Amino acid sequence: MAPAPVSLRTGRASRRSFPVNTLWRNRGKAFLLLLTGCLGVLAAAPARAFDDAAADRVLQAAQQKLRATASDPQIPTTQYPKATTNGPWRLVPNTANIDWVQGFFPGQLWLMYEQGRDPFWRTKADAWTRNLELQKSNPDIRQITHDLGFKFMSSFGQAYRLTGDDAYRQVLLTAAGSLARRFNSTVGVIDCCDWNDGTWHVPMVTDTMMNLELLFWGARNGGNPAWNDMALRHALKTASDMVRADGGTFHVVDYSTSGSILSRGTFQGFSASSTWARGQAWAIYGFTMAYRYTRDPRMLQAAQKVTDYYLARLPADFVPNWDFNAPANQQQKDSSAAAIVASALQELSRYVSDPAVAQRYQSAALATLDSLASPAYLAPATGGGPGILLHGVAFYKTAIKPTGEDIDKSLIYSDYYFVEAVSRFKLWNQGGWLSTLGFPESVRGLGTGNTGVRIVEFDVTPLSKLIDGVIGYADTSTNVTAYSSLAMSLRMNPSGFFDVRRGGAYAALASVPYQANTTYHVRMRTDLNAKTYSVWVRPPGGGEVLVADSFAFRSDAPPTDDLGKVSLKSGHFDNEFRVRNHTVRAE
Ligand code: GLY
């Protein structure tokens, strides 16, 4: 959310009226609007053609555009792309503290690095990432934006996820500490904006839901555990005060310093009572992300409520107008909202328990991607501008900003969430089990009766180098809540090697390094009577290497008499590794 020295339109402001003759002049558009509104129900339609080949085609196109921008001598690594049509990117400097977009270009470079581990992308991504470090703290609170989460999770967050380099984590923790300074503990929200003209007192915007990830993540990765509570409190205020009964959202809620609601309104939307499409997209993504970290059912409920509003009002091409309630003469597609939602719905579909609902969300995500990947939205490979997606809206013309800003443009955040959505599609559609950060979600049942001597085999693929990944085993009766719940553990350690838990520590009889995106076959022989196990790892093209020979079960694990559960536990982020073809059999 960018500053503008103008006053807020609130619920107390008068609503615009539209004379009948204006409506009549626009009757054709009004009819279309009605028709497309009705088509919202088609959001439940089965997925269309978006598939692996389409994903590869999009990533190829993205790679071409991003390589050109990253190699452009006119763009130094202290300048960051923001918006474009056919000309060059409009840039913002690393020193623009209150702008919110600088993480998205390096973030896309990291997503490119993830695809093939080409060092070109890592070098470029690192350069644009490091030049943002100067924003991690500031003695002047007015120079600390609530958008630090956008900027740091997309850049330093991706960097740490993909490299495990602790220097990035340290920067993230400092930035999280800065963001936490904006938390107003009386009201229970992160105050978004010091730059308004005095109309707002303690304002909260939907966008801030996205920034909470820096606090949720930081609290779990060496930062202050209180950051988690701050983020959850803010998310709960968003759910209770910003989401309407029908699932639409206000964009802004302003509180008094004692916490009472002074007004509900909008900043970038059409009116106080309308639903701004990108704000709704931030809510869908934000509540889904909050559920990922907290598993709080109120987050899942809120995510579904705002999603159901959005899906019920989508036009036939699954790309919404910039505001769901804008009149027929103010129709302008916003591909950024569609890209954000396409990414979020793939995640949300993994969390809902009703398979029909999960299918509906996943189908809508794929239909959206299908549309965005078509020539109607995907920029031509040659002859166009440097952006990936066409037809985004930063700020439509409203009373607050009569000239608007970046209407019908390629926007760096559209591109980021589109590339993320396509990367997620690739990640989540290749079968097998993915690791998670949380223990409860990491567990897969192996059935009862796995006693005596058992042989376990599987293929494991680290998805990054330098992860902290554990494949651990527990008794059927064990509630897996910590590493100490796991009697047997094979680890891909943060130094880049496989090792195995023996009694009170990890050890390895041979050094077997692991590489990202490389699949290793693992065989384990466990003797549940003797409480010992042996592990062999076979790198691709090589022979089996014995890394553990009759190692004792973990010394502080609970009694373990059967092989009832396997936990796939990431150390830093969800999806650090994938396990396929997991089998357990008697010897
Ligand atoms: N976060 C600012 C926007 O969505 O425009």
Same domain, 28 and 146: no
Q: What 3-state class would DSSP assign to 243?
A: strand
Residue 37 has pLDDT above 50, yes or no: no
The alpha-helical segments, DSSP class H, found in 373-505 are: 412-428
Helices (H), 8-51: 20-25, 27-38
What angle is formed at CA 558 by the lines to CA 552 and CA 562, rounded to 5 degrees? Answer: 75
Among the candidates 49, 67, 85, a domain finishes at 49
Residue that finishes a domain, picked among 428, 461, 492: 428
Does one domain contain both 449 and 317? no
Indicate whether 23 and 56 sit together in one domain: no
Output DSSP code: residue 110: H
* Percent of the chain whose predicted confidence (pLDDT) is above 90: 85
- 381 shares a domain with 326: yes
CATH number of the domain residue 382 falls in: 1.50.10.10
Measure the N-to-C terminal CA separation of the chain; round to a whole number of Å.
61
Q: Which ligand 1 atom is the nearest neighbour of the CA of 282?
A: 4
Q: Determine the structural domain holding residue 3 and report its residue range.
A: 1-49
CA of 111 relative to ligand 1 center, distance in Å: 21
- Nearest residue CA, atom 4 of ligand 1? 1
CA–CA separation, 410 and 392 (whole Å)? 6
- Pair (310, 453) in one structural domain: no
- For residue range 448-479, list pLDDT tens digits in order: 999 999 999 999 999 987 899 999 999 999 99
Q: Which atom of ligand 1 is nearest to the CA of 2?
A: 2
Between residues 13 and 337, which one has the greater pLDDT? 337
* Count of other CB atoms within 10 angstroms of residue 304: 21
166 and 295: one domain?
A: yes
β-partners of residue 527 are 453, 532
Atom of ligand 1 nearest to the CA of 150: 1
Look at ligand 1, atom 2, and give the residue with the nearest C-alpha: 1
Q: Which of 150, 413, 416 is the pocket-test mutation for ligand 1 (most atoms within 8 Å of CB)? A: 413
Give the domain CATH number at 525. Answer: 2.60.120.200
Counted residue by residue, the chain has a size of 587
Q: What is the pLDDT of residues 408-420, one digit of tens each?
A: 999 999 999 999 9
79 phi and psi, to 5 degrees? Answer: -115, 140
Residues 395 and 485 in one domain: no
Q: Is 450 in the same domain as 497?
A: yes
Last residue in a domain, options 428, 463, 484? 428
Residues 101 and 198 in one domain: yes
The structure tokens listed for 388 are 């990936």
In angstroms, what is the span from residue 461 Cα to ligand 1's centroid?
Answer: 36
User: How many domains would you assign to the chain?
Assistant: 3
Ligand 1 nearest atom to the CA of residue 279, by list position? 4
DSSP states along 71-99: T-TTS-TTEEEEEESSSPPEEEETT-TT-
Mean pLDDT across the chain: 91
Q: Catalytic residue numbers?
A: 147, 207
Taking 3-state DSSP, the helix, strand and coil percentages for the chain, each rounded to the nearest 5, stand at 40, 20, 40
Q: How far, in Å, is the centroid of ligand 1 from the Cα of 268?
A: 8
Contact 569, 420 (CB under 8 A): no
Residues 506, 408 within the same domain: no
- Same domain for 467 and 391: no
**For residue 51, pLDDT beyond 60:** yes
List pLDDT tens digits, range 238-261.
999 999 999 999 999 999 999 999
479 three-class SS? coil
Pocket probe mutation, ligand 1, options 98, 99, 100, 195, max atoms within 8 Å of Cβ: 100
Q: Domain check: are 85 and 151 in the same one?
A: yes
